[in-house]
Amino acid sequence: MTRLTGRALRLTVLVGENDTWHHKPLSSEIVHRAHAAGLAGASVFRGVEGFGASSLIHTSRLLSMSEDLPVAVVIVDTEERVRAFLPQLDELVTEGLVTLDECEVISYTGREGDPGKTDRKGKRSL
């Protein structure tokens, strides 16, 4: 069972959904590397509208502009573990925004059972 409570660091990586790493979605590569690094967890959130350094607004409301919507990858773990992961982001993220925020974890409890039983894609096997 995985547990994490108390002071932590939230890492947020904002990129475009069309951003890739070796022909694979960049957000997916970040999640898989976070998993391989043993971080507590990672989630990907797809935005419905946004703009970045280019000032071009991407929105899901207009069909012609619904490409390359914003994507946020959020990872929360101890400060030491998150900071140790940052060099991997230097390699992966060439355009986007990476932020760190101190946070407090109130409750984080993993599922019962053997946490090591996952397939190579990080999914739990039965």
**Confidence tier at 5 by pLDDT (50, 70, 90):** confident
Report which of 26, 45, 43 is spatially closest to residue 94, judged by C-alpha positions: 26
**pTM of the entire structure?**
0.79
46 or 50, which is more confident: 46
Give the DSSP letter of residue 84. H
Q: Three-state SS for 88?
A: helix
* pLDDT, position 64: 55
* pLDDT, position 108: 79
Question: Is 60 exceeded by the pLDDT of residue 116?
Answer: no
